[in-house]
Structure 1
Amino acid sequence: MTVDGSQARYVEGIAPLLPVDERVRAVARVRAGGGLTPASPSPPSAPPAAGGPGFLGVLLNVLSPNITFGRADNAVDWLVFGVGGRGDPGSQASVLHHALTVAVQGAGVRTLVLGVTDKRLLVGATAPVGLLSSSAADERAQADIELLGSVPRTTVAARFGRYRLNWKRLRIDFADGSWLSFHVPLADSGRPLREIAAALSAG
């Protein structure tokens, strides 16, 4: 496997999490796809309010993200980013998306990492760092990865391409019919995502 310097640290972080007979094929630093996402695996704490936000609610939500109108949040996400994933509560996409959402909502800044081995697709997150952390602390954190979930490589399919505002998007389809998307910033190379897709498609 050939990995560029910016991704090598993630291989270093993933390798200790693997059994001795499992090898890394590809890694990529990613962001979760924007837009509508799979339902949470846990039941909602309260039933949704009846009726939608209406045009005014959607418009105000666009003009000021601090103004929320329940379903208006979903409407704005869909208008700008489309669909970032689909899946029923408890589906593979639902479980993985919930795990990565919880990970990045904690204290500190974390980087999401995808890895493909000869056996599994891995979803992980680096150790949290503060916004004002030193570069040395950041480097150590990038190699300290928490495994958030994994699925057998033979039960997923992937494709790389453009979708709305995500010019470099990786879509991963799971055997249960659910799916998730990931992307990288526009200034970053899409090569790591292409390598993830190729590794998942390889025999």
Structure 2
Amino acid sequence: MDETRYRERIDRLVEPGEHVLAHAKADVGGGLTPPPPPEPSPTAGAGRRTVGSVLLNVLLPLATWDRGDRLVDLVGWGIAGRGAAGSAASRLHRAINPPRPDGAVRETLLAVTDRRLLVCRTGPVAVLGGRDAEERALAETEVAWSAARSQVASARVGWHRLNPKRLRIDFADGSWLSFTVPIAESGRPLRGIAAALSA
């Protein structure tokens, strides 16, 4: 998908009088992320399943169990974000990765305006859909999560393991979440997001 068209769609999603300062296509960094926000009805006995979940995750890698997956993420990728359940990073991560995904591939777009940090999701992206499918996915782009600029404490791009292009966004509540682009892509858009948030 042509990234210059992202800006046109993002401009349509902002409020009147709000100006987009920077935008980038990115994915949440690989690794351990903050726990999801609390659910209305917690499940009983979750602690007793922890050891069994980790063991089953190792023995059956195609099956998924939350705690086992978190351990694998920590060992394989490191830490991609921190924060308590319900923190800004936790809510942002849940907005990008809903509890019941539909299996469709969507692009994540970050945008910084003079008022907010916006995280947008495109419509389903068809791998071999052609230009019409790209246009349809772009037309279905919506704001998944936003935060006032005052809720962002800092942002910077730096190295994480072998990736020199990891954007870390720290929030005022002490939580943080990272975003990356593939190694072959330019890190300039992420540096633009960091500069706009730090200005």
The CA deviation at 1:101 is 0.2
Render the CA deviation track for 1:35-77: whole Å, top value 9, x for unaligned: 11111113343432437549x939x73x863155653322221
User: Kindly tell me: are residues 158 and 103 of structure 1, through their superposed partners in 2, closer, same or farther at Cα, counting changes over 3 Å?
Assistant: farther
Find the aligned partners of 1:150 and 1:129 in 2 and give their Cα distance: 22
Q: Match for residue 45 of structure 2?
A: 47
The CA deviation at 1:192 is 0.5
Find the aligned partners of 1:189 and 1:16 in 2 and give their Cα distance: 25
> 8 Å contact 1:53–1:69 — kept in the other structure?
no
Amino acid in the other structure paired with 1:164: R
Count of matched residue pairs: 195
> 8 Å contact 1:103–1:125 — kept in the other structure?
no
> 8 Å contact 1:116–1:196 — kept in the other structure?
yes
Which residue, 161, 172, 196 being the options, matches 2:169?
172
User: Kindly tell me: are residues 132 and 64 of structure 1, through their superposed partners in 2, closer, same or farther at Cα, counting changes over 3 Å?
Assistant: farther
The Cα RMSD (Å) is: 2.5
Is residue 172 of structure 2 the alignment partner of residue 183 of structure 1?
Answer: no
TM-score (norm 2): 0.86
Q: Match for residue 82 of structure 1?
A: 78
Find the aligned partners of 1:46 and 1:110 in 2 and give their Cα distance: 33
Identity of aligned residues (%): 50
Amino acid in the other structure paired with 1:57: L
Find the aligned partners of 2:84 and 2:150 in 1 and give their Cα distance: 21
5+ residue gaps, structure 2: none
TM-score (norm 1): 0.84
Render the CA deviation track for 1:90-116: whole Å, top value 9, x for unaligned: 111111111110199224211001000
Which secondary structure state, in structure 2, belongs to the residue aligned with residue 12 of structure 1?
Answer: helix
> 8 Å contact 1:9–1:143 — kept in the other structure?
no
5+ residue gaps, structure 1: none
User: Which shows bigger deviation, 126-135 or 44-53?
Assistant: 44-53
> 8 Å contact 2:126–2:133 — kept in the other structure?
no
Which secondary structure state, in structure 1, belongs to the residue aligned with residue 70 of structure 2?
Answer: helix
User: Kindly tell me: are residues 78 and 174 of structure 1, through their superposed partners in 2, closer, same or farther at Cα, counting changes over 3 Å?
Assistant: same
Paired residues for 1:1-203 under 5 Å: 6-43=2-39, 44-50=42-48, 53=51, 57=55, 61=58, 65-68=61-64, 71-102=67-98, 105-156=101-152, 157-202=154-199
> 8 Å contact 1:36–1:82 — kept in the other structure?
yes
User: Kindly tell me: are residues 150 and 67 of structure 1, through their superposed partners in 2, closer, same or farther at Cα, counting changes over 3 Å?
Assistant: closer
The CA deviation at 1:171 is 0.4
Find the aligned partners of 1:145 and 1:104 in 2 and give their Cα distance: 19
The CA deviation at 1:137 is 1.6
